[in-house]
Amino acid sequence: MSSFLSMKMPILLVLPVLLASLLACQPDTVLNNPYTDADSQQTVLYQSFSERPKHLDPAMAYSENEYAFIAQIYEPPLQYHYLKRPYQIIPLTSTNLPEVVYRDDKGQALPSDAEPARIAFTDYIITLQPGIRYQPHAALAKTEQGGYRYHHLDAQAIAPLKTLNDFASTGTRELLAEDYVYQIKRLAHPKNQSPIAEIMKNYIVGFADFAKQAKDLPKTAIKGMSLAGAVAVNDHQYRIRINGKYPQFIYWLAMPFFSPMPWEAEVFYNQLGLSDKNITLDWYPIGTGAYYLAENNPNRRMILQKNPYYHPETYPSEGEPEDRANGLLKDAGKTLPFIDKVVFTLEKETIPYWTKFLQGYYDASGIASDNFDQAIQFTGTGGLALTESMQAKGIQLQTAVQTSSFYLGFNMLDPLLGGTTEAARKLRQAIAIAIDEEEFIAIFMNGRGVAAQGVLPPGIFGFAEGQPGINPTVYDWQADKAQRKDIEVAKQLMAEAGYTNGIDPKTHGPLIVYFDTTATSVEDKPRMTWYRKQFEKLGIQLVIRATDYNRFQEKMRAGNAQIFAWGWNADYPDPENFFFLLYGPNGKVKYGGENAGNYQNPAFDRLFEQMRNMDNTPERYQIIQQMQAIVRQDAPWLFGLHPKQFSLFHSWFGNLKANLMANNELKYRRIDTAARADKRQQWNRPVVWPLLLAGVLLVLLILPAYQAYRKRTQQTLS
Amino acid sequence: MIAYIIRRALYAVPLLIGVNILTFVLFFIVNSPDDMARLQLGQKHVTEQAITNWKQQHGYDLPLLWNDQAQSGQQLTETIFYQKSVGLFWFHFGISDSGRNISADIRERAWPSLAVALPSLAVGLWVDIAFALLMVLFRNTYLEFGGLVICVILMSVSSLFYIIGGQFIIAKLMCLVPISGYEEGFAAIKFLLLPVAIGVFAGIGSGVRWYRTLFLEEASKDYVRTARAKGLTETQVLFRHVLKNAMIPILTGVVVVLPTLFMGSLIMESFFSIPGLGSYTIDAINNQDFAIVRAMVFLGSVLYVFGLLLTDISYTLVDPRVRLS
């Protein structure tokens, strides 16, 4: 020990000093780069994900975080135009938009303006572009004799495999119409548990019967089975037949559910033993899209690589008028995609995620509440802008109101707040006025939201701007903006409903209402307190009934909730996708539908039935306004807010335009890698002087101890 | 010793069955198979038929513990409990409710957890013992008193503070290492430096105090006085005699945790994006994935029992007086 103290300790102390000196001599060294140098040879985009996707099978995936991956890989026949607004459907793998043929109950073709009542079926005839090829994949690898190389693997061949990349050979083949038909059959097979299977039973002809037939058969058996509503006409054309008229079906054709699936993939992945290695179709997609999944480790990193066989597709040459000025048409006509590789890293915590963004190691970021003040400041006019530190880094801010609606729902089956009586309606209206959504947005969302005036969010056909679009039950139009009505108006409504000053005439005490929620954590407490205070304005006592998710869902299904918070994110940009949430036959308690508040109004239902099958015409617009007026008056929802998405992008990130409908936007994006490398170098220079300081301090601390020890050991006994 | 090991292994069987039953009961008190199906199927367009299909596909359409409809022995075997539990005893964890093979996931995620935990334990042990011996060396001086005060301060601070503080100073301000991430092989070193350093630093306070107590107890024994009387230096006494004789309680603490090291650390792995097993169980509970929960609880129990057995065996190696019977 004494030799240790006398010899090794000074060496150890000198080490940090040496290291620091070494680093100080190399100012260009970047030590904190989390990526490998090999990436600098390619155009790589770095993104993160906070939750691993549950499914990557297009028959099953339905979440935003799953679409972030599979929408780059799988290609349905249609897609949304990247730049044009309102959102416009355009061909992706098809040559044109589908040919739509209406047919009567005898199968005879009808004119395009036929009465909806006469239309028994609608045919969507889709013609594919020839020559589109799948990504390189082991399922398509063939032997020299022409057989599939990996379709008959034995246990010995499977044993050494760890990932799909361990297969030595890959192959490709042309995309065929049969692949789209095969995928529709997969949607119907109960073993695939597609979340849209139950909806499609109502639309695609023969879908329900097919599901019954396939129920006990293996997944691969569907290849030889026929589905009346989905037929391949030839190699490049297929037809989908749906019941009646359902114009919104075209939007479904732009969703990954309707992507092609080669039968070879299912045969390959269903071999015994591969699932034990997590080599499944749910985890290793096979598509024709701009990218393929080159690495799949959902607990660490997912890597998309440019598909070498990607079919010719070019950047749009048209957009909104301001797109040219914003530089969004500079790449018009150029071949997609621009980025070679996309690295998604799992980042669960906000602190390292935000730090990496500021260091330039992530190219884009959202803004968590903790970092909001660091990123955004309020301008003198009440608007929001980037802070000076963000501006100094050249960071770009992009905002967009999401096509989502969050609301407080009233259970219309509840004896107090529900029903169509005048008293209940006035009580709901009073509560709607009292709960100050603008304040909620300011306090709890840092201003990132827009108070809702009705069912529809901005950007959806039927949404009215300005005075015609306000909710007259809750707002007045004053000084060119919607102004929430005075609380006295709400109190007056309470009095008219029979609850003067919030007193319940039956109990002679304050009226008690119940708010059912899953907000059980400590972080939710301020929000719940805020709600209580809003109700107190009317003298109402709000009781928070916070339960876990399962119990809450049970209450909702049984109709035992009174007031609840709910939300809806658009599947597609059509008003039908929002108004169906209030359609009577979709009631949750009676029919198990998505109408969580169990609202039922015959006049509204009639208008909905009329509106849902219409094209976007002025007549449809008028009907939508009538429907809005009915629900504003009935107040089955307390229209809450439409969240506003704030995204930050570094200066080297190009072709940025928020598209809330398209999920395949990565192929349009561009990265200036040279500018990024410069900035990273500039922002991540190692700071070494604290190491030197720490070394000196350590010496100063240890020296007295060392001296004391020496003194003690050399001391003579007296 | 072999007889002892076999007996301990047999004792473990009823214990593991008990743990399994407890996990099963606790899980299904909170979640029903319908709830699990709803969570897996998402929030949109979930119909009763879809839930029935899901339960059928995942084997949750059977009764929980007893099947009245079945005959004789099948009343017990045709249940969710039997079907989902029996494979565990052969370490066949099966497929998670979200469709991934659990054994493959555990194999893949155990290594990164081990890559953090093993160096943290080894370096931490070395540092703690070294500091504890130094404090014993300087006992009854201001150095010992100062060291103790620092130890109490260090152990009073939350480990989360060390993580956030370490990331802020070392990775953000000084830019010396990546703030989070992971790579395979030797490339992992630059990602492991900070979490290991923080893990070691966060454990110094409690570790040093604990080992100091052990060493002080040994240092007051007769054989130490004899060693000193022989003319050995204080460092020779501490390193040759005190350290060796204090090994039994040190081993008790260390060997028992060795098998569970690869289970990972939730907070550390989460903050440093280490793709380990730390969050595997918590994520499964949040996702109501019973298949993973039962597998991980079972595995945790097995490893704990194994750790205790290893501790007993290690006693015989360091102390010739101990005999297992």
Listing DSSP states for A26-93 in one string gives: -TT------S-GGGGGS-EEEEEESS--S---TTT--SHHHHHHHHHH---SEEE-SS-SS--EEESS
Burial class (CB in 10 A: 0-12, 13-18, 19+), A335: exposed
Interface of A with B in 500-559 (CB under 8 A): 548-550, 553
Low-confidence ranges of chain A (pLDDT < 70): 1-28, 716-718
CATH 1.10.3720.10 domain position(s) in chain B: 110-323
DSSP letter (8 states) at residue A594: S
Element (H, E) at A241: strand A237-243
| Most B-contacting residue of A193, A295, A296 (CB-CB within 10 A), to test interface | A193
Interface of B with A in 279-308 (CB under 8 A): 279, 288
Q: Which residues of A touch B279 (CB under 8 A)?
A: 348
Check B53 against A190: CB less than 8 A apart.
yes
Of B50, B176, B279, the CB nearest to A32: B176
Tokens 């006049």 locate to A603
**Radius of gyration over every alpha carbon of chain B, rounded to an integer in angstroms:** 25
Q: Which residues of A touch B103 (CB under 8 A)?
A: 276
Q: Is the minimum CB–CB distance between A195 and chain B shorter than 8 Å?
A: yes
For B178, name the nearest residue in chain A, comparing CA atoms only. Answer: A32
Under DSSP, is residue A20 helix (H, G, I), strand (E, B) or coil?
A: helix
Q: Yes or no: say if B25 and B297 are a contact pair by the CB < 8 Å rule.
A: no
Interface of A with B in 453-492 (CB under 8 A): none
Query: Which pairing describes strands A541-546 and A512-517: parallel, antiparallel, or unpaired?
Result: parallel
Closest CA to A87 of A623, A611, A658, A669: A658
Q: What is the pLDDT of residue A16?
A: 58
Q: Which residues of B touch A359 (CB under 8 A)?
A: 172, 175, 179
DSSP letter (8 states) at residue A485: P
- Give bridge partners of residue A564 from the DSSP assignment: A409, A516
Cβ contacts from A onto B, under 8 A: 156
Q: What is the pLDDT of residue A521?
A: 87
Check B100 against A190: CB less than 8 A apart.
no
| Most B-contacting residue of A278, A589, A703 (CB-CB within 10 A), to test interface | A278
Distance from the Cα of A586 to chain B's closest Cα (Å) equals 11
For residue A704, the number of C-alpha atoms closer than 13 Å in the C-beta half-sphere is 8
Q: What is the pLDDT of residue A2?
A: 44
Interface of B with A in 145-204 (CB under 8 A): 164, 167, 169, 171-183, 187, 190-191
- Give bridge partners of residue A513 from the DSSP assignment: A542
Q: Yes or no: say if A331 and A352 are a contact pair by the CB < 8 Å rule.
A: no
Distance from the Cα of B186 to chain A's closest Cα (Å) equals 12
For A356, name the nearest residue in chain B, comparing CA atoms only. Answer: B179
Q: Which residues of A touch B58 (CB under 8 A)?
A: none
For A580, name the nearest residue in chain B, comparing CA atoms only. Answer: B45
Q: Yes or no: say if A628 and A456 are a contact pair by the CB < 8 Å rule.
A: yes
Residue A93: both structure tokens together: 């793998």
Query: How much of chain A is helix, strand and coil, in % rounded to 5?
Result: 40, 20, 40
Of A1, A278, A548, the CB nearest to B101: A278
Residue A301: both structure tokens together: 């990193």
Q: Which residues of A touch B53 (CB under 8 A)?
A: 190, 193
Angle between helices B33-41 and A549-558 (to 10 degrees): 90
Domain ranges of chain A: 2-29+685-717, 56-283, 404-645
Q: Is the minimum CB–CB distance between B228 and chain A shorter than 8 Å?
A: no
What CATH code would you report for A56-283?
3.90.76.10
- Give bridge partners of residue A638 from the DSSP assignment: A408
Q: Which residues of A touch B232 (CB under 8 A)?
A: none
Check B164 against A687: CB less than 8 A apart.
no
Q: Which residues of A touch B235 (CB under 8 A)?
A: 1-2
For B143, name the nearest residue in chain A, comparing CA atoms only. Answer: A705
At the second CATH level, the architecture of A404-645 is Roll (3.10)
Q: Which residues of A touch B101 (CB under 8 A)?
A: 275-278
Q: Is the minimum CB–CB distance between A300 and chain B shorter than 8 Å?
A: yes
Distance from the Cα of B138 to chain A's closest Cα (Å) equals 8
For A1, name the nearest residue in chain B, comparing CA atoms only. Answer: B235
What CATH code would you report for B110-323?
1.10.3720.10
Asked if A56-283 and A404-645 have one fold, the answer is: no
Distance from the Cα of B263 to chain A's closest Cα (Å) equals 15
Q: Which residues of A touch B172 (CB under 8 A)?
A: 355, 359
Distance from the Cα of B32 to chain A's closest Cα (Å) equals 9
Element (H, E) at A380: none
Interface of A with B in 5-64 (CB under 8 A): 30-34, 36, 54-55, 62-63
Q: Which residues of A touch B189 (CB under 8 A)?
A: none
Q: Yes or no: say if B129 and B227 are a contact pair by the CB < 8 Å rule.
A: no
Distance from the Cα of A408 to chain B's closest Cα (Å) equals 17
Check B275 against A299: CB less than 8 A apart.
yes
pLDDT in tens, chain B (325 residues): 788 888 888 888 899 889 888 888 888 887 888 888 888 887 777 777 788 888 888 888 888 888 888 888 888 888 888 888 888 888 888 888 878 889 989 998 999 999 999 999 999 999 999 999 999 988 888 889 999 999 999 999 999 999 999 999 999 999 999 999 999 889 999 999 999 999 999 999 999 999 999 999 998 899 999 998 998 888 889 888 899 888 888 888 888 888 778 787 888 999 999 999 988 888 888 888 888 988 999 998 998 888 888 888 888 877 777 777 6
| Most A-contacting residue of B38, B101, B201 (CB-CB within 10 A), to test interface | B101
Check B105 against A275: CB less than 8 A apart.
no
Phi, psi of B322 (to 5 degrees): -80, 130
Interface of A with B in 421-450 (CB under 8 A): none
Of B143, B171, B288, the CB nearest to A32: B171
For A211, name the nearest residue in chain B, comparing CA atoms only. Answer: B53
Determine the length of chain B.
Answer: 325
Of B35, B180, B273, the CB nearest to A550: B35
Instruction: Report ipTM (2 d.p.).
Output: 0.88
Check B99 against A55: CB less than 8 A apart.
yes
Helices (H), A248-303: 249-252, 263-269
Under DSSP, is residue B60 helix (H, G, I), strand (E, B) or coil?
A: coil
Closest CA to A516 of A411, A636, A415, A631: A411
What is the CB neighbour count within 10 angstroms for residue A583? 21
